[in-house]
Amino acid sequence: MRPDGPQPVERQLPTDEAHELMALVRDLARREVRPRAAEEEDAGVFPRGVFTTLGTSGLLGLPYPQEYGGGDQPYEVYLQVLEELAAARLTVAMGLSVHTLSCFGLAEYGTKEQREQYLPAMLGGQLLGAYCLSEPNAGSDAASLRTRATRDGATWTLNGGKAWITHGGIADFYTVLARSGAEGPRGITAFLVPGDAAGLSAAPPERKMGLKGSPTAQIHLDGVTVDDGRRIGEEGQGFGIALAALDSGRLGIAACAVGVAQAALDEALAFLAGRRQFGRPLSDFQGLRFMLADMATAIEAGRALYLTAARLRDAGRPFSKEAAMAKLLCTDNAMKVTIDAVQLLGGYGYTADFPAERYLREVKVLQILEGTNQIQRMIIGRHLLGPETRA
């Protein structure tokens, strides 16, 4: 029988190499990521060094082809790596998810020449990416974005502003969606913009409720010129690329949410086993046990759903509906689990000396980003009923 208390998650993985990868990730999480998490999140320090370590270990390109320096791993494996890292520190897992998202357009829609030229460096571990879709006035209604791309021969000039950009100001490259044509979703084109491009600048990072180690900033594009060789996909194909990227990105967010929820449950388990009241360990009280049972069940259900979506994706089947469901369920569950973890720790849970309150603050944003959970429900509704008929 397994001993009581928090245990490593029993993972279903398809290959021996995936199990060894997981052992490496757990080692990295335990030794490099977790120890500094609380202190650096408190101080708002971005762990660039951790990303270098992840990069040299080959973890910044896991779901992409080996021939371009990736790890050729299915989403089923990549997402569980994200989950383990999120349990150690969400800033790191979110950063990896955003980096993976920012490589998606070029990897899936780039020409062979573009992939050969840019992907090895993007996946190789030394560079960090950012993804620029949202704008101050184009959030959930992303297709209304106004950043302008104008073409002059083989050169594009970008002008506008992007909002809520993870790694804004520190990224080495930005995947930018801009309007190259008419209003609406069909007038949008994607570009790969280098981080040091003239005219690209970042506003001071937002002051956020959580994820303080991960910089989120507005990006200004002031006459940024890029070669047509940095256009990803066809002109006007950008919004489709953005939506496809988000389907995969949502799975990343789902996995991140499950990871933080698992960390919160583990924290609560350890606390309840160690604290005595009324002459008994807290873990003896049935009312509290029931709370823990519900938390563990919510986590396992979320994990099962994101893995179901991932396995559909890995099999080359449609997974957009399941990805929206996984993002919705995993992040809503994580919110509930982290709130309950704070409750179980009582007064201690409300202090910054225990990580429970940080988990709570951190997962809140996962219900908002990469499509709010209201947008997820809208997507699921469209899969069930087709497009809304009202204009």
Partner 1 sequence: MSLRIVVCVKYVPDATGDRHFAEDLTTDRDAVDGLLSELDEYAVEQALQISEASDDAEITVVTVGPEEANKDGLRKALSMGADKGVHVVDDALHGSDVMGTSLVLAKAVEHVGYDLVVCGMASTDGTMGVLPALLAERLGVPQVTLLSEVAVADGQVTGRRDGDTATERLAASLPAVVSVTDQSGEARYPSFKGIMAAKKKPVEELQLSDLGIEADLVGLGGAWTAVDSADARPARTAGTIVKDEGEGGKQLAAFLAERKFI
- How many CB atoms lie under 10 A from the CB of residue 284? 14
Q: 3-class DSSP state for residue 251?
A: helix
Binding part of the chain for partner 1, among 53-61, 150-158, 278-286, 317-325 by CB under 8 A, reads 53-61
Count interface residues toward partner 1 (CB under 8 A). 14
Q: How far is the CB of 41 from partner 1 (least distance, A)?
A: 23
Measured CA to CA, the distance from residue 322 to residue 118 in angstroms comes to 31
If binding is defined by CB under 8 A, does position 67 make contact with partner 1? no
Which segment (16-24, 231-239, 269-277, 382-390) binds partner 1 by CB under 8 A?
A: 16-24
Q: Is 162 exposed, middle or buried (0-12, 13-18, 19+ CB in 10 A)?
A: buried
Shortest Å distance, C-beta 218 to partner 1: 35
What minimum distance in Å lies between the beta carbon of 72 and partner 1? 9
Q: How far, in Å, CA of 295 to CA of 258, rounded?
A: 11
Residue in 12, 14, 20, 137 binding partner 1, rule: CB under 8 A = 20
- Cα–chain-centroid distance for residue 52? 18
Q: Is 17 in the site for partner 1 (CB under 8 A)?
A: yes
CA atoms within 13 A on the CB side of 317: 8
- Please identify, among the stretches 23-31, 174-182, 265-273, 351-359, the one whose residues bind partner 1 according to the rule CB under 8 A: 23-31
Q: Is 58 exposed, middle or buried (0-12, 13-18, 19+ CB in 10 A)?
A: middle
In angstroms, give the least distance from the CB of 75 to partner 1: 16
Q: Which of 41, 108, 370, 388 is catalytic?
A: 370
The DSSP secondary structure of 304-338, one letter per residue, reads HHHHHHHHHHHTT---HHHHHHHHHHHHHHHHHHH
**168 three-class SS:** coil
Does position 71 interact with partner 1 (CB under 8 A)? The reply is: yes
In whole angstroms, what is the distance from residue 314 CA to residue 316 CA? 5
Q: Which of 12, 56, 111, 155 binds partner 1 (CB under 8 A)?
A: 56
- When the beta carbons of 77 and 261 are compared against partner 1, the nearer one is 77
- Is 370 an active-site residue? yes
> Binder to partner 1 among 6, 58, 161, 194 (CB under 8 A)?
58
Under the rule (CB under 8 A), what is the footprint of partner 1? Answer: 3, 17, 20-21, 24, 27-28, 53, 56-59, 62, 71
Catalytic residues: 370
